[in-house]
Structure 1
């Protein structure tokens, strides 16, 4: 463990700043928070953007949005004078032009240099708003302040939330936060299907939605949160408009899933009539089998995409699995709950940020884990691995927990022999 001495243990982490790189590496590109912020702006109909930065940021923004259609997506490139003395005058003129060109709402995206020189973009927004028809919001995306990309998404969503206003509640409307209205590659969770069958309108709030969908969101009876990226916005709506948020993205335990389903039904004034319980008996049987196989196994967690590592680790700890090292893309405010659960169960693993797979893989192998949960892109890892856990993102309830356990047990069994047929786990 001497090579991991620079890492903090989970109990010592208070924010993403405490999560250190596993091996030395600078990783720009898709890990820059500008990437998801701009991509999100380009995929919300009715929202325009203005990237403020150096020529490198301008070129990169064209890579993220190569053929922006419909809404205006402009870049403002700082010249040498503005890098020293600021770009206030130029930004004001540009916003006037975007307003005249028909922008309905503009997201100003400040990059590293405006942040470093202390450009007051929030103050500029407050000053310019009374002069323009377009609504203005801003997000600072300086990469030097963070290791990774999630803040670009959740900060953008929180900024959009600032445009919301109170509305009369419609009791048959539910916000689905983190699922696109055009989503077909992720099956619709049973909970959402059951709501549709009971006549509810589901408003999806995610890339692919319209800005108007977000602005109407305070009229919903509840928000079902399927993604950690949308959780900060859901929390703001809960505080500002009283819209209750039910977090589905971080629950694996069958008892907690059942309790959450009951809470949703109570809030909406409905009965499920056992519509969500079809998979519960099979999951309980599978969980009993898994506990016998997984108790005492030690594992490392690599890239799981947007699927949170800590909620999953807390659930697996209840089955007796020991985390040796966890990769965290971001330490979310809600992760403190999972930290306390892991600590209460006797586990306090080092946590890290992995961005250099070829250098990271030997360190993981040196820990001699029984399993690696997640991926190390491009690296050859000599550890039994459970890959593509990001496929579970967007799922919720019993089916996601069942899929997780089935994947782990399948890897422990090893590859099937030619012609061998295996019964699915949980089948009696």
Structure 2
């Protein structure tokens, strides 16, 4: 356990920059100690996620488990099915509410299939049941690809999915893609997401190159083909072959190695980009998911250099609209205290964006930091912002801290009822992620303005 002395003052007290006097009933001069504080550090005291203490105890399934992201992402690939293999509790939390007590193979409208393990399977193994399930899924649903997603229990029981997939490959129509989520070795959900995307290289092979073409890796929104980025690229004469993982098919993925460039907009797609470069020679450029207007401009400039096309003139109107939205939201956000959890732009990128709106980032929850976050850390500290930073925790665990800090705005997933009881406005992370570029900037600014508009100071 880390010693708080010297970081938060003497044990039993904690100096902070207090919000407006009386905010949420908290006096300016002191903030009561909350148990959760021992897991937080000031931004200036950390550089990587490893510098943060790990909360005692474990949630199961918890925020670390990659199963959830795998279950949400794999079904986005049209023409595929996803077989989740694990105990009923895990599958229940992955979206199989009506199937959690079932036995054998069960289908859901989402394209998920569930193979629930019996208690004895953890001892005697589940290989024969997996073989049965794969053969049945292939026969009944005839998918072009079948993801085999394992959880902790079959992995700890010694299940070798790679060997089973190799054995089954000649007997099924579907291409079999193995994804291990092994939550016991992960500290954030993105391990599952990264591995789903990395597995997609199993659908690819050598194909003739296509000049002036790209894949955009890391777009998960349903309208990925209509984002500002894709429209700008196509208006500039660049063909977008595929947006991965959203709005793509098994057939389209097979053609991805013909692209002249992979554009990586979320770092969970880096493993796939690197594997495609190693196997097929497709270079990649990582532009990230920026929110601050200057970062969006940098991303477009990076793409212009890589592709030899002019993109910024094509998005000038969107840039102006984003600037206007930010100006309107500043009146509502100025001086507000904000908490940032999972949000577009990364935890520190989102904190920096809120700071540009005039809010004070008081606390940041993170499960990981990207290269983009590392850059924003420097900007935040240079501009005088030094929020508390801790590992991702549930809203219920955070209530004492949010109350103590006098937080007005919560950017990220969270219990909206608990937040409402505290009088905290919530900005949900998904709408901005359905966009990229200045469109995302505009939407994020408008949502902050809407969440804060009319709230007493």
- Matched with 1:260 is 299
Cα distance in 2 for residues equivalent to 1:24 and 1:80: 24
- Deviation, structure 1 residue 38: 2.9
Runs of 5+ consecutive residues of structure 1 not aligned to the other structure: 417-428
Q: Does 1:107 align with 2:147?
A: yes
1:217 alignment counterpart: 256
CA contact (8 A) 1:172 1:199 kept: yes
How far apart, in 2, do the equivalents of 1:79 and 1:298 lie? 51
CA–CA separation in structure 1 for the residues paired with 2:163 and 2:130: 12
Report if aligned partners of 1:303, 1:376 keep a CA contact under 8 Å in 2. Answer: no
Q: Deviations over 1:290-335 (max 9, x none)?
A: 889978x463324455652221223445677543211235545654
Is there any run of 5+ residues in structure 2 with no aligned partner, and where?
1-13, 15-32, 100-105
- Give the C-alpha shift of residue 111 in structure 1: 1.5
Give the one of 362, 377, 384 matched to 2:400.
362
Does the Cα contact within 8 Å between 1:17 and 1:146 map onto a contact in 2? no
Q: Does 1:309 pair with 2:342?
A: no
Question: Judging changes above 3 Å, is the alpha-carbon distance between structure 1 residues 58 and 409 closer, same or farther for their aligned structure 2 residues?
Answer: closer
What's the Cα RMSD here?
A: 4.3
- Secondary structure of residue in 1 paired with 2:73: helix
User: Structure 1 residues 204, 300: closer, same or farther in 2, change over 3 A?
Assistant: same
Per the alignment, do residues 81 and 70 of structure 1 end up closer, same or farther by CA in structure 2, a change over 3 Å counting?
Answer: closer
- The C-alpha deviation readout for 1:317-373, integer Å capped at 9, x for no partner, is 56775432112355456544444554555536222323243x523320211245443
Are 1:159 and 2:199 matched, yes or no?
yes
Q: Per-residue CA shift, 1:258-289, capped at 9, x if unaligned?
A: 23223323333333482222344565677689
Partner of 2:454: 414
Change over 3 Å in CA distance of 1:162–1:322 after alignment to 2: farther
Quick check: 1:7–1:352 contact (8 Å CA) kept in 2? Answer: yes
Separation of aligned partners in 2, 1:334 and 1:236: 21
Query: How many pairs align?
Result: 410
Tell me how far apart the structure 2 counterparts of residues 75 and 273 of structure 1 sit (CA, whole Å).
Answer: 46
What is the CA–CA distance in structure 1 between the aligned matches of 2:58 and 2:120, rounded to whole Å?
A: 32
SS at match of 2:388: coil
Is the CA contact 1:325–1:352 (under 8 Å) kept in the aligned structure 2?
no
Deviation for aligned residue 1:164: 2.5
What do the CA deviations read for 1:104-132 (whole angstroms, capped 9, x no partner)?
A: 43321112211233333334445555676
Instruction: Mark the CA change 1:402 to 1:45 in structure 2 (over 3 Å): closer, same or farther.
Output: closer
- Alpha-carbon deviation of 1:137? 2.2
CA distance in 1, matches of 2:325, 2:89: 52
TM-score between the two structures when normalised by the length of structure 2: 0.71
Pick which of 383-392 and 284-293 moved more: 284-293
State the alpha-carbon separation in 2 of the partners of residues 181 and 298 from structure 1.
Answer: 30
Structure 1 match to 2:86: 53
Q: Matched residues in 2 for 1:304 and 1:103: separation?
A: 33
Give the alignment of 1:126-141 within 5 angstroms: 126=166, 129=169, 134-141=174-181
**8 Å contact from structure 1 (residues 299, 324) kept in 2:** yes
Q: Is the 8 A contact 1:27 1:355 kept in 2?
A: no
Change (3 A) 1:236 1:7: farther
TM-score, normalised with respect to structure 1: 0.75
The within-5 A match list for 1:292-307 is 297=335, 299-304=337-342
Equivalent-residue separation in structure 2 for 1:317 and 1:332 (angstroms): 19
Contact (CA 8 Å) 2:409, 2:427: kept in 1 or not? no
Structure 2 CA distance, aligned partners of 1:289 and 1:93?
A: 59
Output one character per residue of 1:148-200: Cα deviation in whole Å (capped at 9) or x when no partner: 644333321111234333433212433233446952xx893433323333444
Among 413, 425, 431, which residue is 1:391 paired with?
431
CA distance in 1: counterparts of 2:372 and 2:406, whole angstroms:
30
Against the structure 1 CA distance between its residues 413 and 106, is the aligned structure 2 distance closer, same or farther, given a 3 Å change threshold? closer
Alpha-carbon distance, 1:138 to partner: 1.5
Segment drifting more, 403-412 vs 79-88: 403-412
Could you tell me how far apart the structure 1 residues matched to 2:115 and 2:221 are? 32
Q: Does the CA-based 8 Å contact 2:409-2:425 persist in structure 1?
A: yes
Query: 2: CA distance between counterparts of 1:134 and 1:99?
Result: 6
Q: 1:26 to 1:313 in 2, by over 3 A?
A: same
Distance 1:195 1:49 in 2: 32
Q: How does 1:165-184 map to 2 (within 5 A)?
A: 165-179=205-219, 183=223
